[in-house]
A and B are shown apart, each in its own frame.
Chain A
Amino acid sequence: MITSLAFRLTKRFGAKVVLDDLALEVRGREFVTVLGPSGCGKSTALNLLAGLTQPTRGEIRLDGVRIDGLPPERRGFGMVFQNYALFPHLTVGANVAFGLVLRGRGKAEIAERVRRMLELVRLTGFADRYPGQLSGGQQQRVAIARALAVEPRVLLLDEPLSNLDAKLRLEMRGEIKRLHADLGLTSIYVTHDQAEALSLSDRIVILRDGRVIQAGTPAEIHDRPQTVFVADFMGYRNFFPLTVASEEGDTVLARAGALALRGRTVVPLRPGDAAVAAVRPEDVETTTEPPGPNVVRGTVRLTEYLGREHGVEVALEGGPTLTVRLAHPVTVGSALALRLPPERVVILPAEDGAR
C-alpha cells in the first residue's frame, strides 16, 4: 500500500518535446487517467514511470523516495499493455506466475496465488491453456492477473481496452473498476477514450502535445471544460464562433450575426472577446418559444436512427449546422425550432488555430 506517487517528467526525442514537464501527485488508492489523442505523450509518460524509457529531465518519488534511478525490474510496478503482451510460449498459469518465480517464491505459494489470481479475473480452469488459445478479452484478463499477482505498488494500464470490441470493452471496464476498488490499488490509466476516463477515474489529466491542458474530477472535466480542445474531447459536438456582447457574473451573452447565445463561462471573458460556444447534441431540446437568445430555427438535413434516440443534423438559418439528439423522429426537410438551455451552453475563449 503506497500513500503517494509524485512525479515531474520531461521527455525530448531530439528537438521534439514529447512530454513537457508533466507534474502529478497520485495518492494511494487513487485512479488517475491520462487522457489525450494519439501522439499526445501519454504512453511515453507511462513508459517513463515504468522505467522502460529514461526521462530527459525530472524525478519520480514513491512515498517520498526517489525511484527514477531504478531499472524497471526493481520498481515493483505492474503494467498492462494494449496488445496484452502475454508470453506466447508459456501457459496462462506460467504467465501469471512469471513475476512470482522471479521473486523466488515457493512452489506451493506460487500455485496458490496463481489459482487465486485466475479466480479473481474469472479464468479458473484456464491455467494450462496457451495465450493463443484464448479470446482477446480472456488474454487481457490474464495480463491483468499477471500484473496483479506480484502485488504491484502501482498499476499502470496502457490503453488496455482499445483492442477489444465494444461489448467486451464495457465488460472489462467494469472488471477493472471492480478490481481497483476491491484490491485497494493505485492505478494510472492511459486512454484516448473519454467514456473510459469518465467512468473509471477519480481524477483525469488531459494531455495535448505533451502538455497538461486540464486536470480535475470527471465531473469537473465533463461539465466545465476550460478549452475548446477539452470540450471537443468531452463530447461537445457543436461549436459556434461568437463575440462576447455582455457579461454578468459567470454567464455571458455572445453573438454572431443572427445567432445569440447565453451560456456559462469557466474562464472569465469580457465583452468584445472572441469566444466559442459549445453545446452537446443531447442538451438541445425542441421548443415552441418565440425566437430570441438561445432559440434557433432550422431545417432538418439528415437523420440517423440511434436506437433510443435520433441523431439529427439541422441547418440553421444563417449557415451553421447544429447536431442534436431528439427523442422523436423528424423528417428530412421539416422546419424545427430548437432551444439551447443557457445552463448547458459553455462559452469558451477562442483558440488560435483549429480546435
Chain B
Amino acid sequence: MRVVSLLAPSVAYLLVMFVFPFAYGVLLSLRPKGGGVSLANYVAFFLDPWQARTIWVTASIAVPNTLLTVLLALIVAYAMRGGIWLERTITTMLVLPIALGTVLVAEGINGFYGPKGWLNQALLSLGLAEPTRLTHNYTGVMLALFVQHFPFCFLMLLGYISGIDPALEASARVLGAGPWAVFRRVMWPLIAPGVAIAGALVFVMNFGVFPSAVLVGQPAGATRTIAIAAYQEAFEHYDMSMASAIAVVMGVCQLAGLAVILFLRRRMAGTGVATMGAGKR
C-alpha cells in the first residue's frame, strides 16, 4: 500500500503529462474532419505524394546528419580522452551552442554562411570562389542541426570515454596493440553502447526538426520536413485531426529508427559488454 502511495505522484505526472496527451492525439487522428472513426487521415497522408514525401525528406536530413554528428563527435571526444591543452576552454566553446537555443543558432548561421555572410564575403574578397549558396536549402539545415547537436553528442561521448579506465589502454599498448588496434579491440567495444545511445537521441531530435528547417531551410520544398507538414495542417488548415495523424507517423518513424540502432548495438555487443558494469574495481 505504501509503495503504491509513493509511486502515485510520478504515475499521476506521467498520466497527465504524457499518457493522456499521447492517447488523446492518437484518438484524435482516428476521427477525421469528415466525421466518424476511420483511418482516413493516414490513407490521405500516404496517398498524397506532397505529404508522403516529407518522410523521405526528413529521413534524408536526419539519417546522414546523425551519422555525421556521431562520427565527428566520436573522433573529437576520442582524441581528447587523455586530456589536452586548454581542454576546458575548448569544451566550453563546443558546448556554447546548447545554451544559445535553436533560433539564435539559425540566425548565426544566416549571418555567417548566408549569401552576404562573412564566409562568402571573405571568400569573394580573396577571389577564391563564386558566392556559394549554403543557407535556405538542404545544406543550411544540415549545418544548423550539426551545430546544435554536435555539442550534446560530444559531451555524452566524452563522458562515456573518460569513464573508461586509462589502464586498459595502457595494458593493451604494452601487450602489443598499436593505436588502431587499441581502438578496435578495446575502446570501441566499450564505447559502442554509448555511441548507440547518443546516436539514438540525435536521430530522434533530427527527425523532429522544425525551427531550423523553417529558418535556414527551404520550408516549401527541399526541407519541407514531416514536422512542417504537421504544423501546416494544424495551424494553416486548422485540421488538428490530420496534424495528429502526421505526428503519429513521425513518432512511428522515430521509433523505427531507434529500433534499428538498438538492433545494431545488440549485434555489435554480442561479446558480453553487458557484463562491463559488473567488474570489481
Give A contacts to B, CB under 8 Å: 47, 50-52, 71-75, 77-79, 81-91, 98-99, 102-103, 130-136, 139, 143, 146-147, 150, 156
Output the nearest chain A residue to B181 by Cβ-Cβ distance: A102
Output the nearest chain A residue to B171 by Cβ-Cβ distance: A85
18 contacts between A and B (CB under 8 A): A50-B170, A50-B174, A51-B173, A71-B178, A72-B174, A73-B176, A79-B170, A79-B171, A83-B167, A85-B165, A85-B167, A86-B279, A87-B185, A89-B272, A98-B175, A99-B176, A143-B171, A150-B175
Shortest distance between the CB of A13 and any CB in chain B (Å):
13
A133/B275 in contact, CB under 8 A: yes
A73/B279 in contact, CB under 8 A: no
User: Is the C-beta of B168 less than 8 angstroms from some C-beta in chain A?
Assistant: yes
A131/B279 in contact, CB under 8 A: yes
Provide the residues of chain B in CB contact with A133, threshold 8 Å.
Answer: 275, 278
When chains A and B are docked, how far (Å) is the Cα of A51 from the Cα of B179?
13
User: Is the C-beta of B89 less than 8 angstroms from some C-beta in chain A?
Assistant: no
Given that A81-B170, A85-B170 are contacting pairs, would A102 and B279 also be in contact in the complex, using a CB cutoff of 8 Å? no
User: Is the C-beta of B281 less than 8 angstroms from some C-beta in chain A?
Assistant: yes
Give B contacts to A, CB under 8 Å: 165, 167-168, 170-178, 181, 185-186, 189-190, 271-273, 275-281
Provide the residues of chain B in CB contact with A150, threshold 8 Å.
Answer: 175-176
Provide the residues of chain B in CB contact with A143, threshold 8 Å.
Answer: 171
When chains A and B are docked, how far (Å) is the Cα of A83 from the Cα of B167?
8
Output the nearest chain B residue to A143 by Cβ-Cβ distance: B171
Provide the residues of chain A in CB contact with B186, threshold 8 Å.
Answer: 87
Provide the residues of chain A in CB contact with B280, threshold 8 Å.
Answer: 132, 134-136, 139
When chains A and B are docked, how far (Å) is the Cα of A51 from the Cα of B189?
25
Given that A83-B165, A88-B190, A131-B279 are contacting pairs, would A52 and B273 also be in contact in the complex, using a CB cutoff of 8 Å? no
When chains A and B are docked, how far (Å) is the Cα of A99 from the Cα of B186?
12
When chains A and B are docked, how far (Å) is the Cα of A17 from the Cα of B113?
49
In the A-B complex, the 9 residue pairs with the smallest Cβ-Cβ separation, listed nearest first, are: A132-B278, A85-B167, A99-B175, A72-B173, A132-B279, A102-B176, A85-B171, A79-B174, A130-B275
Shortest distance between the CB of B187 and any CB in chain A (Å):
10
A132/B275 in contact, CB under 8 A: yes
Shortest distance between the CB of A336 and any CB in chain B (Å):
47
When chains A and B are docked, how far (Å) is the Cα of A178 from the Cα of B197?
47
Given that A88-B190, A90-B271 are contacting pairs, would A83 and B174 also be in contact in the complex, using a CB cutoff of 8 Å? no
When chains A and B are docked, how far (Å) is the Cα of A82 from the Cα of B165?
12
Shortest distance between the CB of B81 and any CB in chain A (Å):
14
Shortest distance between the CB of A137 and any CB in chain B (Å):
11
When chains A and B are docked, how far (Å) is the Cα of A94 from the Cα of B172?
12
Please give 12 more A-B residue pairs, beta carbons under 8 A apart, in addition to A73-B174, A89-B275, A143-B171. Answer: A52-B174, A72-B170, A75-B174, A79-B170, A81-B170, A83-B281, A85-B170, A88-B190, A90-B271, A98-B172, A103-B176, A132-B280
Provide the residues of chain B in CB contact with A102, threshold 8 Å.
Answer: 175-177, 181
When chains A and B are docked, how far (Å) is the Cα of A147 from the Cα of B170?
12
Given that A130-B278, A132-B280 are contacting pairs, would A89 and B189 also be in contact in the complex, using a CB cutoff of 8 Å? yes
B174/A89 in contact, CB under 8 A: no
Output the nearest chain A residue to B170 by Cβ-Cβ distance: A52
B165/A71 in contact, CB under 8 A: no
Output the nearest chain A residue to B174 by Cβ-Cβ distance: A79
Which of B167, B177, B181, B271 has most A Cβ within 10 Å?
Answer: B167
Shortest distance between the CB of A47 and any CB in chain B (Å):
8
A132/B165 in contact, CB under 8 A: no
Provide the residues of chain A in CB contact with B176, threshold 8 Å.
Answer: 73-74, 99, 102-103, 150
**Of the residues A77, A86, A90, A91, contact of B174 by C-beta under 8 Å:** A77
Given that A73-B177, A73-B178, A150-B176 are contacting pairs, would A81 and B278 also be in contact in the complex, using a CB cutoff of 8 Å? no
Given that A83-B165, A89-B189, A102-B181 are contacting pairs, would A132 and B276 also be in contact in the complex, using a CB cutoff of 8 Å? yes
B172/A88 in contact, CB under 8 A: no
Provide the residues of chain A in CB contact with B181, threshold 8 Å.
Answer: 73, 102
When chains A and B are docked, how far (Å) is the Cα of A131 from the Cα of B186?
14
Which of B167, B170, B175, B176 has most A Cβ within 10 Å?
Answer: B175
When chains A and B are docked, how far (Å) is the Cα of A146 from the Cα of B177?
13
When chains A and B are docked, how far (Å) is the Cα of A102 from the Cα of B276?
23
When chains A and B are docked, how far (Å) is the Cα of A105 from the Cα of B87?
41
Shortest distance between the CB of A92 and any CB in chain B (Å):
11
